[in-house]
Amino acid sequence: MNRPQSAAPQTTTRNPFTLLEYDPIKLLNKPQKVASMFEVRDGTRDYDPLFPLSVELHLTDVCNLRCSWCTDLELRRNLASLPLATVESLFHEFAQHGVGVTIEGGGEPTVYKHFAEVVTLAARYKLDIGLITNGIRPLAPFANQFKWIRVSMDASSADEYLAEKGVQRYGKVRANIAALGAMPDKQFLLGIGYVMTRRNTGRLLEFIEEMDAAGVDYIYLRPVEEMPDLSPDLAMLYELKSQWETTQAAERRIKVLMNLDDRIEKHNEGLPCIAHALSCVIQADGHVAMCEKRRHDPVVFGNVNMQRFSEIWRGQLRKDVSRRLLDPGAQRGCEVCRITKFNRYFVRLGELYTRNFI
């Protein structure tokens, strides 16, 4: 997700975050990439050879929390970390192709021993970087090197935090969020990630108000995935969404995203998967995975510790997979996935009768 190119965000001014930051329409900024994927959809090209728009980069599988619903438990058992030399090689390639880099799990990226050097390298290569973190470690000294920072909070009280995270760090994280929100020269979007379970929605509206007061730009809410015993009642979540949308009319600064529809549809809605070319995951052991949601049939294109990313991305295996994913049946077994909404757009646009009219 890219920060707007206009005036830098300021806590005391208007909120620079708009809902377009999470809307597929922002792909209009990348017409060559979209055209290439349309050619795959229409059968005039076997695969999209252009680099992904953004990459999810796992620096390490080590984590300082024990979330009960963690979807990366298998990865965390590896205890792997990317060599710094590999990270620099990737940044060199990504800078040549304008790729955005989201630094996130497997584990907690800020515990990676070369985390500060990674941030410095990104600045040297003029990369757009974002960060998903649990917020335990202070970030203010180099926060402005990021386009956006999202703190995975997942709790509105100390008791909820301990139940969800397995370790008590609630006060420390709240203090670090407040420090980020109060930065007088803040030049990044500050967000909160909140995985909703049966245990942590009781005072969610009050928590949103508290984050608004702390200078947070947006909060991203989604139900827990792959843990049906912990998943909150869907009707209750829609009611909660309705309540917030009613109160948000009071011109509060914080923006709230609660994308329920995109988080309940499995199997890619039975659509061809064209939009996988928008992103990929580079895991801490160097594997380049197509996505994180294909647990029934993992696709690994190669390993960046052994090959350049460009060789992997344009290799024969990825070409073969791209052709296979045009069959809607190939997605049966996929968990809920944020890429589904992009596939929905691509397919529906291809079905328009009036595509040559405004």
- The encoded tokens of residue 349 equal 């646009």
Question: What does the mean pLDDT of the chain come to?
Answer: 90
Q: What percent of the chain is modeled with pLDDT above 70?
A: 94
**pLDDT of 92 higher than 50:** yes
- Rounded distance between C-alpha atoms, residue 138 and residue 182, angstroms: 13
- Tell me what the mean pLDDT of segment 165-170 comes to: 96
**pLDDT of 342 higher than 70:** yes
**pLDDT of 323 higher than 90:** yes
pLDDT of amino acid 2: 42
- pLDDT band per the 50, 70, 90 thresholds, residue 169: very high
Q: How many CA atoms lie within 13 A of 19 on its CB side?
A: 5
pLDDT of amino acid 241: 83
**pLDDT of 338 higher than 60:** yes
- How many whole angstroms from its chain centre is CA 148? 11
Q: Mean pLDDT lowest for which of 12-21, 94-103, 141-150? A: 12-21
Closest C-alpha among 93, 91, 85, 89 to residue 103: 91
Q: Mean pLDDT lowest for which of 60-64, 134-138, 255-259, 327-331? A: 255-259
- Tell me what the mean pLDDT of segment 121-131 comes to: 98
- pLDDT band per the 50, 70, 90 thresholds, residue 6: very low
pLDDT of amino acid 107: 92
236's enclosing H/E stretch is helix 234-247
pLDDT of amino acid 263: 66
**pLDDT of 101 higher than 80:** yes
**pLDDT of 228 higher than 60:** yes
- Rounded distance between C-alpha atoms, residue 273 and residue 268, angstroms: 7
Q: Which range has the top average pLDDT, 29-33, 102-106, 338-342? A: 29-33
Q: How many CA atoms lie within 13 A of 292 on its CB side?
A: 22
